[in-house]
Chain A
Amino acid sequence: MQKYKELENKVVLVTGGTQGIGEAMADAFAAEGCRLAINGRVLNDKVEKVAARTNALPVMGSLAEPGVGERIVQETCEKYGRLDVLVCNGAGIDMKPFLEQPEENWWHQVKINLSGHIEAMRAALPGMAARKSGTIIIISSFLGTLGWNNASGYGASKSGLLTVGQYLAREYRQHGVNVCIIVPGVIRTAQLQVDADDLGVSYDEVCEMYAQSIPMHRIGTPAEIAGMAVFMATAAGGRGLSGRHIQVSGGDYRTTPYYV
């Protein structure tokens, strides 16, 4: 159901838009009447179903590969004539203690989560600045704001994303571009299986375990993150939240933000 008429026909690219939080973003923006592009690593049945359901253009490739970040923005612009909203959501995680993790595996997460998105942002910003309009929405993580056992590479990439969001917001405010950051709490996605495996428990057990320590006593849903992203894409939401981060976490991870 459309909530924000102003978003109708806006062009939105969602990285990692083929599952989990990204898939929910694709559905949410499609419901607003947006024109969509979704990025994932491999074009398969699942991706095609999401694309068909949301009428999205699949722009495929691994953000870890140089050139992909730029290409997916270009393909989106070629199809739709412009890009209004870039959602930097795609992520990879490989949990291991820093001192035990092979260097290549550690850096692979940084390549996908941080460097790949930096490339996409660089490709998107000139067009947005020229039109004096645009929004970049970054999905960071409390693993980046707080740090987490066995997640130093993921944490590094997500704190880098928080920083680039803050400083790009400062630089591009004068060009009418908003850059907003979401720090999700624990969200019910397939990625929790990585946590479950790391802890040696089942998926349902890890969900229940996390829920107990969250004030709201439940973990979040991908749609709840998508709802925040849609709000950030609006004029008022983007203007108010540009350069800021919001923790969508059911009351968990309460930090006091200090901003540039």
Chain B
Amino acid sequence: MTKHILIADILSEAGSSAAKALANKGWQITGISACGGEGVDYVCNLMNRSEVMALVGRIEAEKGDVFGLLVSTAFQLPGVPFLDAAPDIWQARLDAWLRYATNICYACGRKMVARQEGRIMVITPDFNRIKGDCVVEATAAGSLHGFLKSFGAEVAAARVCVNGIYAGLPFDFEAINATCDYLLAEGQYVSAQLIALSAEE
């Protein structure tokens, strides 16, 4: 039976690229985003955990259990300079990375744990080669590392593999997509890791 992969945000560059690549590999893809667009099957306020939980329930009822979750955020470059990031601006970027990812991981993760099976992959960029002040964006994305490793350690015994894909910018989409396909198809012993991928040369 074809396994079902949920991609959020499918409108992000990495999300839309992965959707096409994984569909070509035979995975069943469902796309979600905060607004409509190409590949978007469901629209949801991903900052609200209750709404995300309700949506995942609806998706599974309509399309089948979610085996794999791919999380990709549309990020800001150039980002807000660090000294210009007043608390509300910082919180907005932290929400865009950490709240967004933790909400969808929570909604899907609890169901995967109940079924004793699942794969969660979160793309978190490595801003190392980006010139200029990207402190805010890098920090907000970097907060995912400790979350993913901890959550991954907690659910590994339930055969739910949670990994971060720490991909250098500019993204090598082919490498990212191939890594996602590998983790979905074979990576049952790869868990709670931050997998560093080189940037596109």
Contacts and interface: CB of A to CB of B under 8 A. Distances in A.
Contacts of B151: 98, 147, 152
Given A126-B83, A157-B146, A150 B154 contact: yes
Contact of B83 (A125, A145, A154): A125
A119 interface: yes
Contact of A148 (B110, B138, B153): B153
Interface in A102-154: 103, 106-107, 110, 114-115, 118-119, 122, 125-126, 143-154
A159 B166 CA distance: 13
Contacts of B196: 258
Contact of B113 (A99, A154, A160): A99
Interface residues of B, number: 41
Nearest to B110: A99
A171 interface: yes
A66 B147 CA distance: 23
Given A99-B106, A99-B110, A115-B91, A143 B146 contact: yes
Interface string A9-44: 000000000000000000000000000000000000
A151 B91 CA distance: 21
Contacts of B148: 147
B146 A98 contact: no
B142 A122 contact: no
Contacts of B82: 122, 125, 168, 171
Interface string B132-156: 0111001111111111111111110
Instruction: Label chain A's interface by main secondary structure.
Output: helix
B139 A147 contact: no
B106 A98 contact: yes
How many interface residues does chain A have, given as a range? 35 or more
B94 A144 contact: no
A97 interface: yes
B3 to A, nearest CB: 22
A166 B127 CA distance: 11
A158 interface: yes
Contacts of A114: 94, 139, 143
B87 A66 contact: yes
A163 B133 CA distance: 13
Contact of A155 (B99, B113, B134, B146): B146
Nearest to B49: A103
A162 interface: yes
Contacts of B145: 144-145, 147, 155-156, 159, 162-163
Given A115-B87, A118-B90, A167-B135, A160 B140 contact: yes
B146 A152 contact: yes
Contact of A171 (B85, B113, B133): B133
Contacts of B144: 156, 159
A236 interface: no
Interface string B80-96: 00110101001100100
B4 to A, nearest CB: 21
Given A98-B102, A158-B146, 14 more contacts: A66-B87, A110-B143, A114-B94, A115-B87, A150-B150, A152-B147, A154-B150, A155-B147, A156-B145, A156-B150, A160-B143, A160-B146, A163-B139, A168-B135
18 contacts: A97-B154, A99-B109, A114-B143, A122-B82, A146-B149, A147-B148, A152-B147, A154-B150, A155-B150, A156-B145, A156-B146, A160-B98, A160-B140, A163-B138, A164-B135, A171-B82, A171-B135, A260-B127
